[in-house]
């Protein structure tokens, strides 16, 4: 069973359930805006969702944000740039899901010295769902 629970301009929140196995997982698919102020709206909305969630929860998509300074090469990362995303991840007790594929998920397609590589695509899960989803891996 697949059910859309909420649609926002930067994400779609759904429930995926296997009724035979009585398993239900909430999945939020994210496509964050480029502007930091608009991403801050996203972080606030996602924090609001968390208050009502008891099931395992996965968030995946283009968050347009690095979590750590070393997740971008070719252009400096400021603490102000990562603070809101990091705070949201910490407040919601999210941890990165295991992934396979390329570490850097975004490349600006410029030449030589202007190349920038970033990890802005994420698959995150609630810490409380870790045991239920331990075998899950996403491919970027």
Concatenated DSSP letters for 3-17? EEEEEETTEEEEEEE
**Which range marks the domain in which residue 42 is found?**
2-135
Global pTM reads 0.85
What's the domain count of the chain?
1
Per-residue pLDDT at 139 exceeds 70: no
Per-residue pLDDT reduced to its tens digit, 66-123: 999 999 999 999 999 999 999 999 999 999 988 788 888 888 877 777 899 999 999 9
Per-residue pLDDT reduced to its tens digit, 44-70: 999 999 888 888 899 999 999 999 999
**Residue 37, in any domain of the structure:** yes
Chain-centroid distance of CA 129 in Å reads: 15
**Residue 140, in any domain of the structure:** no
> Which CATH number does the domain housing residue 33 bear?
3.60.10.10
């Amino acid at each position: 069973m697949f059910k859309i629970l909420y649609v926002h301009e930067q994400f779609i929140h759904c429930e995926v359930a296997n009724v035979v196995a009585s398993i239900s997982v909430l999945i939020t698919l994210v496509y964050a805006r480029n502007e930091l102020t608009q991403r801050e709206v996203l972080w606030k909305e996602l924090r609001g969702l968390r208050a009502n969630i008891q099931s395992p929860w996965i968030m995946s998509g283009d968050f347009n944000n690095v979590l750590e300074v070393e997740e971008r090469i070719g252009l400096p990362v400021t603490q102000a740039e990562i603070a809101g995303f990091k705070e949201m991840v910490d407040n919601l007790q999210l941890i990165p899901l295991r992934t396979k594929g390329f570490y850097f998920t975004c490349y600006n397609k410029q030449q030589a010295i202007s190349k920038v590589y970033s990890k802005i695509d994420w698959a995150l899960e609630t810490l409380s769902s870790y045991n239920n989803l331990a075998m899950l891996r996403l491919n970027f």
